[in-house]
Amino acid sequence: MSTYSIKDLEKLSGIKAHTIRIWEQRYHLIEPRRTDTNIRYYSDNDLVKLMNVSVLNQNGYKISKIALLADQQIGAIMSQLNDNIPSLTTLTEGLAMAMLEIDESRFNRVFDKSVEDLGFEKTVEQLLFPFLEKIGVLWLAGTVCPAQEHFITSLIRQKLIAAIDHEGIKTEGTHPRILFYLPEGEFHEIGLLYYNYLARKADFEVLYLGSSVPFRDIIRVDEIRPVQLIFTSFVTSPGTGVLAEKIKRLKKSFPDKAVLVSGWQVKQEQPKLPENFCKIGSSVDFKKALSMFLKKGRIK
Protein backbone atom coordinates (compact mmCIF):
# COMPACT_ATOMS: atom_id res chain seq x y z
CA MET A 1 0.00 0.00 0.00
CA SER A 2 1.27 3.48 -0.91
CA THR A 3 1.13 6.35 1.51
CA TYR A 4 0.56 10.01 0.69
CA SER A 5 1.09 13.36 2.33
CA ILE A 6 -1.61 15.99 2.10
CA LYS A 7 0.46 17.74 -0.57
CA ASP A 8 0.48 14.50 -2.58
CA LEU A 9 -3.31 14.40 -2.35
CA GLU A 10 -3.43 17.99 -3.55
CA LYS A 11 -1.28 17.21 -6.61
CA LEU A 12 -3.23 14.10 -7.58
CA SER A 13 -6.75 15.30 -6.88
CA GLY A 14 -6.42 19.00 -7.69
CA ILE A 15 -8.04 19.88 -4.34
CA LYS A 16 -6.17 22.41 -2.22
CA ALA A 17 -4.66 21.07 1.01
CA HIS A 18 -6.58 23.69 2.99
CA THR A 19 -9.87 22.46 1.51
CA ILE A 20 -8.98 18.83 2.27
CA ARG A 21 -8.39 19.72 5.92
CA ILE A 22 -11.73 21.53 6.14
CA TRP A 23 -13.54 18.53 4.63
CA GLU A 24 -11.79 16.27 7.13
CA GLN A 25 -12.75 18.36 10.13
CA ARG A 26 -16.28 19.29 9.09
CA TYR A 27 -17.48 16.18 7.25
CA HIS A 28 -14.98 13.43 8.19
CA LEU A 29 -14.72 12.43 4.53
CA ILE A 30 -11.28 10.91 5.10
CA GLU A 31 -9.30 10.39 8.27
CA PRO A 32 -5.51 10.56 8.13
CA ARG A 33 -3.33 8.17 10.07
CA ARG A 34 -0.25 9.33 11.93
CA THR A 35 3.30 8.07 12.14
CA ASP A 36 5.09 7.52 15.46
CA THR A 37 6.37 11.07 15.11
CA ASN A 38 2.82 12.40 14.63
CA ILE A 39 3.11 13.10 10.89
CA ARG A 40 -0.18 12.76 8.99
CA TYR A 41 -0.38 10.37 6.05
CA TYR A 42 -3.09 8.91 3.81
CA SER A 43 -3.75 5.57 2.12
CA ASP A 44 -4.71 4.53 -1.43
CA ASN A 45 -8.33 4.26 -0.25
CA ASP A 46 -8.26 7.83 1.05
CA LEU A 47 -6.92 9.08 -2.28
CA VAL A 48 -9.50 7.18 -4.33
CA LYS A 49 -12.35 8.43 -2.16
CA LEU A 50 -11.11 12.00 -2.31
CA MET A 51 -10.90 11.90 -6.11
CA ASN A 52 -14.41 10.47 -6.30
CA VAL A 53 -15.67 13.20 -3.98
CA SER A 54 -13.95 15.81 -6.15
CA VAL A 55 -15.67 14.53 -9.31
CA LEU A 56 -19.09 14.40 -7.63
CA ASN A 57 -18.65 17.91 -6.28
CA GLN A 58 -17.73 19.22 -9.75
CA ASN A 59 -20.88 17.57 -11.09
CA GLY A 60 -23.18 19.45 -8.74
CA TYR A 61 -23.22 17.27 -5.62
CA LYS A 62 -22.84 19.19 -2.35
CA ILE A 63 -20.12 18.06 0.04
CA SER A 64 -22.62 17.85 2.89
CA LYS A 65 -24.67 15.36 0.84
CA ILE A 66 -21.65 13.35 -0.35
CA ALA A 67 -20.50 12.95 3.26
CA LEU A 68 -23.71 11.02 4.02
CA LEU A 69 -23.14 8.49 1.21
CA ALA A 70 -21.59 5.07 1.72
CA ASP A 71 -18.58 4.16 -0.43
CA GLN A 72 -20.77 1.78 -2.47
CA GLN A 73 -23.25 4.58 -3.20
CA ILE A 74 -20.45 6.88 -4.30
CA GLY A 75 -19.15 4.15 -6.61
CA ALA A 76 -22.59 3.66 -8.16
CA ILE A 77 -22.98 7.39 -8.87
CA MET A 78 -19.49 7.51 -10.37
CA SER A 79 -20.42 4.70 -12.76
CA GLN A 80 -23.47 6.68 -13.89
CA LEU A 81 -21.38 9.80 -14.43
CA ASN A 82 -18.82 7.87 -16.48
CA ASP A 83 -21.61 6.79 -18.82
CA ASN A 84 -22.39 10.43 -19.58
CA ILE A 85 -20.06 12.86 -21.35
CA PRO A 86 -17.24 13.33 -18.83
CA SER A 87 -14.99 16.30 -18.33
CA LEU A 88 -11.22 15.99 -18.65
CA THR A 89 -11.05 16.21 -14.87
CA THR A 90 -13.38 13.23 -14.51
CA LEU A 91 -11.37 11.26 -17.07
CA THR A 92 -8.11 12.10 -15.31
CA GLU A 93 -9.53 10.94 -12.00
CA GLY A 94 -10.59 7.71 -13.70
CA LEU A 95 -7.06 7.12 -14.99
CA ALA A 96 -5.62 7.79 -11.57
CA MET A 97 -7.96 5.30 -9.93
CA ALA A 98 -7.22 2.70 -12.61
CA MET A 99 -3.53 3.13 -11.84
CA LEU A 100 -3.93 2.99 -8.07
CA GLU A 101 -6.17 -0.09 -8.21
CA ILE A 102 -4.20 -1.80 -11.04
CA ASP A 103 -7.49 -2.02 -12.94
CA GLU A 104 -7.13 -2.53 -16.70
CA SER A 105 -10.90 -2.67 -17.27
CA ARG A 106 -11.36 0.76 -15.69
CA PHE A 107 -8.52 2.14 -17.80
CA ASN A 108 -10.12 0.80 -20.97
CA ARG A 109 -13.50 2.30 -20.07
CA VAL A 110 -11.96 5.72 -19.46
CA PHE A 111 -9.81 5.56 -22.59
CA ASP A 112 -12.63 4.38 -24.85
CA LYS A 113 -15.00 7.03 -23.53
CA SER A 114 -12.42 9.75 -24.11
CA VAL A 115 -11.71 8.60 -27.67
CA GLU A 116 -15.46 8.48 -28.35
CA ASP A 117 -15.95 12.05 -27.13
CA LEU A 118 -12.63 13.74 -27.98
CA GLY A 119 -11.03 11.59 -30.67
CA PHE A 120 -7.75 9.70 -30.40
CA GLU A 121 -5.32 12.61 -30.82
CA LYS A 122 -7.03 14.90 -28.30
CA THR A 123 -7.19 11.98 -25.88
CA VAL A 124 -3.43 11.53 -26.12
CA GLU A 125 -2.55 15.22 -26.03
CA GLN A 126 -5.13 16.59 -23.57
CA LEU A 127 -5.62 13.58 -21.28
CA LEU A 128 -2.82 11.02 -21.41
CA PHE A 129 0.24 13.26 -21.72
CA PRO A 130 -0.75 15.69 -18.90
CA PHE A 131 -1.63 12.69 -16.73
CA LEU A 132 1.73 11.02 -17.36
CA GLU A 133 3.53 14.27 -16.58
CA LYS A 134 1.74 14.52 -13.24
CA ILE A 135 2.44 10.87 -12.40
CA GLY A 136 6.08 11.25 -13.41
CA VAL A 137 6.59 14.01 -10.87
CA LEU A 138 4.98 11.94 -8.12
CA TRP A 139 6.99 8.85 -9.13
CA LEU A 140 10.25 10.77 -8.90
CA ALA A 141 9.19 11.98 -5.46
CA GLY A 142 8.55 8.38 -4.38
CA THR A 143 4.85 8.97 -3.90
CA VAL A 144 3.55 6.56 -6.54
CA CYS A 145 4.68 2.93 -6.50
CA PRO A 146 6.89 2.22 -9.56
CA ALA A 147 4.77 -0.84 -10.38
CA GLN A 148 1.65 1.34 -10.61
CA GLU A 149 3.42 3.80 -12.92
CA HIS A 150 4.76 0.96 -15.10
CA PHE A 151 1.29 -0.58 -15.26
CA ILE A 152 -0.44 2.53 -16.57
CA THR A 153 2.44 3.39 -18.92
CA SER A 154 2.32 -0.10 -20.43
CA LEU A 155 -1.41 0.22 -21.10
CA ILE A 156 -0.92 3.58 -22.81
CA ARG A 157 1.92 2.11 -24.85
CA GLN A 158 -0.38 -0.70 -26.02
CA LYS A 159 -2.99 1.81 -27.19
CA LEU A 160 -0.41 3.78 -29.17
CA ILE A 161 0.96 0.64 -30.82
CA ALA A 162 -2.57 -0.44 -31.77
CA ALA A 163 -3.16 2.96 -33.39
CA ILE A 164 0.16 2.72 -35.23
CA ASP A 165 -0.73 -0.75 -36.53
CA HIS A 166 -4.07 0.59 -37.73
CA GLU A 167 -2.29 3.17 -39.90
CA GLY A 168 -0.35 0.38 -41.62
CA ILE A 169 2.86 0.59 -43.68
CA LYS A 170 3.22 3.16 -46.45
CA THR A 171 4.20 1.95 -49.91
CA GLU A 172 7.95 1.90 -50.42
CA GLY A 173 9.35 4.60 -52.69
CA THR A 174 6.24 6.78 -52.85
CA HIS A 175 6.50 8.48 -49.44
CA PRO A 176 9.27 10.40 -47.65
CA ARG A 177 11.02 8.26 -45.07
CA ILE A 178 11.57 9.28 -41.43
CA LEU A 179 13.64 7.49 -38.81
CA PHE A 180 12.68 7.57 -35.12
CA TYR A 181 15.07 6.66 -32.31
CA LEU A 182 16.07 7.51 -28.76
CA PRO A 183 19.79 7.83 -27.91
CA GLU A 184 21.57 5.36 -25.64
CA GLY A 185 20.30 5.69 -22.08
CA GLU A 186 16.97 7.22 -23.13
CA PHE A 187 13.92 5.04 -22.43
CA HIS A 188 10.94 7.45 -22.39
CA GLU A 189 9.25 5.99 -25.47
CA ILE A 190 5.62 7.12 -25.16
CA GLY A 191 6.14 10.45 -26.92
CA LEU A 192 8.23 8.82 -29.64
CA LEU A 193 5.47 6.29 -30.30
CA TYR A 194 2.90 9.05 -30.66
CA TYR A 195 5.02 10.96 -33.15
CA ASN A 196 5.49 7.68 -35.02
CA TYR A 197 1.69 7.47 -35.27
CA LEU A 198 1.40 11.07 -36.49
CA ALA A 199 4.06 10.54 -39.14
CA ARG A 200 2.32 7.45 -40.50
CA LYS A 201 -0.99 9.28 -40.53
CA ALA A 202 0.67 12.08 -42.52
CA ASP A 203 1.74 9.51 -45.17
CA PHE A 204 5.38 9.15 -44.19
CA GLU A 205 7.22 5.84 -44.36
CA VAL A 206 8.54 5.20 -40.85
CA LEU A 207 11.63 3.39 -39.62
CA TYR A 208 11.08 3.03 -35.86
CA LEU A 209 14.11 1.87 -33.86
CA GLY A 210 12.84 2.61 -30.35
CA SER A 211 14.78 3.39 -27.20
CA SER A 212 18.47 3.41 -26.27
CA VAL A 213 19.91 3.00 -29.77
CA PRO A 214 23.72 3.26 -30.25
CA PHE A 215 24.59 6.12 -32.60
CA ARG A 216 26.65 3.90 -34.90
CA ASP A 217 23.48 1.87 -35.54
CA ILE A 218 21.66 4.98 -36.74
CA ILE A 219 24.39 5.56 -39.30
CA ARG A 220 24.28 1.91 -40.36
CA VAL A 221 20.49 1.90 -40.79
CA ASP A 222 20.68 5.03 -42.96
CA GLU A 223 23.32 3.35 -45.13
CA ILE A 224 21.07 0.33 -45.63
CA ARG A 225 17.83 2.27 -46.07
CA PRO A 226 18.41 6.01 -46.54
CA VAL A 227 15.99 8.40 -44.87
CA GLN A 228 15.10 12.04 -45.48
CA LEU A 229 14.23 12.94 -41.88
CA ILE A 230 15.44 11.91 -38.43
CA PHE A 231 13.50 12.43 -35.21
CA THR A 232 15.02 11.99 -31.76
CA SER A 233 14.36 13.14 -28.20
CA PHE A 234 16.66 14.06 -25.31
CA VAL A 235 15.04 13.74 -21.88
CA THR A 236 17.66 12.52 -19.41
CA SER A 237 20.23 15.12 -18.35
CA PRO A 238 23.71 13.53 -18.68
CA GLY A 239 25.73 16.59 -17.73
CA THR A 240 26.90 19.99 -18.98
CA GLY A 241 27.85 20.13 -22.64
CA VAL A 242 26.72 16.62 -23.52
CA LEU A 243 23.63 17.71 -25.45
CA ALA A 244 25.69 20.10 -27.56
CA GLU A 245 28.09 17.28 -28.41
CA LYS A 246 25.23 14.99 -29.44
CA ILE A 247 23.81 17.68 -31.71
CA LYS A 248 27.26 18.31 -33.19
CA ARG A 249 27.62 14.59 -33.94
CA LEU A 250 24.20 14.48 -35.60
CA LYS A 251 25.08 17.47 -37.76
CA LYS A 252 28.41 15.94 -38.82
CA SER A 253 26.89 12.54 -39.67
CA PHE A 254 23.71 13.83 -41.34
CA PRO A 255 24.46 17.26 -42.86
CA ASP A 256 21.90 16.90 -45.65
CA LYS A 257 18.97 15.45 -43.70
CA ALA A 258 16.17 17.18 -41.83
CA VAL A 259 16.70 16.52 -38.11
CA LEU A 260 13.90 17.08 -35.60
CA VAL A 261 14.84 17.19 -31.91
CA SER A 262 12.61 17.33 -28.85
CA GLY A 263 12.59 16.55 -25.14
CA TRP A 264 13.08 18.12 -21.74
CA GLN A 265 16.82 18.68 -22.27
CA VAL A 266 16.25 20.64 -25.46
CA LYS A 267 13.59 22.75 -23.74
CA GLN A 268 15.80 23.46 -20.72
CA GLU A 269 19.14 24.10 -22.41
CA GLN A 270 17.83 25.84 -25.56
CA PRO A 271 20.88 24.79 -27.62
CA LYS A 272 21.83 26.59 -30.83
CA LEU A 273 20.68 24.33 -33.63
CA PRO A 274 22.17 23.91 -37.13
CA GLU A 275 20.18 25.11 -40.14
CA ASN A 276 18.91 21.63 -41.01
CA PHE A 277 17.60 21.07 -37.45
CA CYS A 278 14.18 21.94 -36.03
CA LYS A 279 13.13 22.02 -32.37
CA ILE A 280 9.84 20.21 -31.69
CA GLY A 281 8.05 21.40 -28.58
CA SER A 282 4.65 19.91 -29.25
CA SER A 283 2.63 17.82 -31.66
CA VAL A 284 1.59 21.08 -33.36
CA ASP A 285 5.24 21.85 -34.12
CA PHE A 286 5.72 18.32 -35.41
CA LYS A 287 2.70 18.43 -37.72
CA LYS A 288 3.83 21.79 -39.11
CA ALA A 289 7.33 20.44 -39.81
CA LEU A 290 5.93 17.38 -41.60
CA SER A 291 3.53 19.52 -43.64
CA MET A 292 6.34 21.88 -44.61
CA PHE A 293 8.52 18.96 -45.71
CA LEU A 294 5.77 17.47 -47.85
CA LYS A 295 5.18 20.83 -49.57
CA LYS A 296 8.72 22.23 -49.87
CA GLY A 297 11.15 19.42 -48.99
CA ARG A 298 12.37 21.20 -45.87
CA ILE A 299 11.23 21.53 -42.24
CA LYS A 300 11.43 25.31 -41.78
Q: What would the pLDDT profile of 185-221 be if each residue is shown by its tens digit?
A: 999 899 999 999 999 999 999 999 999 999 999 999 9
Q: Are residues 196 and 290 located together in one domain of the fold?
A: yes
Q: Are residues 137 and 185 located together in one domain of the fold?
A: no
* Boundaries of domain holding 132: 48-164
Higher pLDDT, 136 or 113: 113
Per-residue pLDDT band for 51 (boundaries 50, 70, 90) equals confident
What residue type is 201 in one-letter code?
A: K
Q: For residue 18, tell me if it sits in a domain.
A: no
Question: Which residues neighbour 78 within 8 Å (Cβ) at sequence distance 6 or greater?
Answer: 52, 55, 56
Mean pLDDT, to the nearest integer, of 85-112? 86
85 pLDDT higher than 60: no
CA-CA distance, 60 to 92, in Å (whole number)?
18
Q: Are residues 181 and 280 located together in one domain of the fold?
A: yes
Domain count, the chain: 2
Q: Are residues 88 and 206 located together in one domain of the fold?
A: no
Closest Cα to residue 48, out of 4, 112, 104? 4
Q: For residue 77, tell me if it sits in a domain.
A: yes
Report pLDDT for 12: 76
Q: Are 138 and 12 in contact (CB under 8 A)?
A: yes
Residue ending a domain, choose from 131, 147, 164? 164
**CATH no. for residue 107?**
1.10.1240.10
Question: Which residues neighbour 31 within 8 Å (Cβ) at sequence distance 6 or greater?
Answer: 24, 46
Report pLDDT for 71: 85
Q: Are residues 105 and 138 located together in one domain of the fold?
A: yes
Return left, alpha or beta for 270; rule: phi > 0 is left, psi -120 to 50 is alpha, else beta. left
Question: pLDDT digit string (tens) for 213-243?
Answer: 999 999 999 999 999 999 999 988 666 678 9
Q: Are residues 176 and 282 located together in one domain of the fold?
A: yes
Residue ending a domain, choose from 164, 199, 221? 164
Q: Are residues 185 and 150 located together in one domain of the fold?
A: no
Report pLDDT for 140: 53
Return left, alpha or beta for 272; rule: phi > 0 is left, psi -120 to 50 is alpha, else beta. beta
Residue ending a domain, choose from 108, 135, 164? 164
Q: Are residues 105 and 205 located together in one domain of the fold?
A: no
Question: pLDDT digit string (tens) for 246-295?
Answer: 999 999 999 999 999 999 889 888 889 999 999 999 999 999 999 999 99
Q: Are residues 202 and 115 located together in one domain of the fold?
A: no
